Amino acid sequence: MFDIFQGQLINRIECLNCEYKSMAFDNFLDLSLSISRKAMKYTGYIDLEECLSDYIKPERMESNGYKCERCKKEVNL
């Protein structure tokens, strides 16, 4: 049963200043995915692949105080 519901996420951060990439690994036993109200209201079904794609899409980290391991500068990603 756990083969289906467990896994490992890779969090990758790329410094926009020096392009250094750092990674962290997080184990999970379940994922909390957002479900589009639009999809449920108009189509009546939920596309799991679309939910997973939304979950893993890249995002900018604004004003979080991230300090790059390589260049030691505080940058907004």
Contact 76, 66 (CB under 8 A): yes
DSSP character string of 26-60 = EEES-------HHIIIIISS--HHHHHHHHH----
Angle at 63 between CA 58 and CA 69, to 5 degrees: 75
Averaged over 6-17, what is the pLDDT?
87
Predicted model pTM? 0.63
- Phi, psi dihedrals of residue 26, rounded to the nearest 5°: -125, 125
26 pLDDT band, cuts 50/70/90, is very high
CA nearest neighbour of 22 among 5, 33, 10:
10
| 77 has pLDDT over 60 | no
Distance CA 6, CA 27 (A): 8
